[in-house]
Amino acid sequence: MDTHFQLEYARELLDTLIANYNATPHAGLGYRSPLDQLDWLADQEDVPLPTADPIAVSKMVGVRKLCTLLGGNHTGRRPQFHFANARYSAEWLCLRGDLLGKKLWLPIENEDDARFATVSTQAGHFLGVVRGAPPWHRTPHSLYIRQAIRGLEQRRLLFLSRECDAVEALLQYAESSPGGRLPPHPAYLEARRILVAAIAVGALRRLCADGGLEPHRLGRCAVSRPVLCGVAAGQLPCAGNSDQKSIGAAPHVAGTLDRAGQPRW
């Protein structure tokens, strides 16, 4: 049976159902919601709350590939890896001529930010971090978005250069369709979801820096009701302005990111 219901819509629906469940009081929890129960358990000093190292978890579920370090002085090219339709490099690689020609692991630990990858030996020794070369170096994106953009480029629907931002080109392509109607391209919805999440995380970090939130509670507050309501309504406070600006349109989202693709607060 054919259906036009996209996977991204199903994810948004599941996120809404989970958020509503976590905010609903339950009789089994003393008529507290799961979020209230979690806060109550965290406040019990005699009962430590078990936590998992987010870095270790991301390494377990992240995408990785065994890549050969190319380039070097004998080729006249900067040392670089070719991974997932992009080139990755860093300054510290220029000083590691001993790694040229060797196969190294490149894991992408954050699936929503494929701009960065860590480099480690086959024995598991960490070496450093590399960054994607233009046009993949500015805005956070996933490997799925990158693959979709490359597909549009091969069909000559997008034209990318080293001076442009590939994700911004995708947003402009989707939002400049005739009649103002968005083509049903799943990569557009995925890109918007990642940008909204990046802005929400930036808001929480700013709250931590201002002393309004303890850093160790950042993980739990990422699913708090005020933040979820703000993201769902498409409104979050912007830098230098006490007014609330809509993030429903891509130009507003891009306007809150710096040239490195990080939220500007």
Mean predicted lDDT score pLDDT of the chain: 75
pLDDT value of position 42? 81
Quick one: tokens of 193? 């979801």
130 vs 76 pLDDT, higher one: 130
Amino acid residing at 136:
W
Domains of the chain, by residue range, sit at 7-50, 58-132, 143-255
The pLDDT assigned to 178 comes to 66
Mean pLDDT along residues 55-70? 83
Distance CA 35, CA 40 (A): 9
Question: Mind listing the pLDDT tens digit for each residue in 152-205?
Answer: 888 888 888 888 899 998 888 887 766 655 555 778 878 888 888 888 777 767
* 168 closest CA partner among 160, 180, 157: 160
Which residues are bridge partners to 32 per DSSP? 26
When pLDDT is cut at 50, 70 and 90, the band that residue 18 belongs to is very high
Backbone angles phi, psi at 186, to 5 degrees: -60, -30
Phi, psi of 244 (to 5 degrees): -100, 130
Q: Which residue has the higher pLDDT, 54 or 127?
A: 127
Report pLDDT digits (tens) over 83-142. Answer: 989 999 999 999 998 999 999 999 988 888 899 999 999 988 999 999 999 999 999 999
The answer to whether 237 and 203 are in contact (CB under 8 A) is yes
pLDDT at position 145 over 70? yes
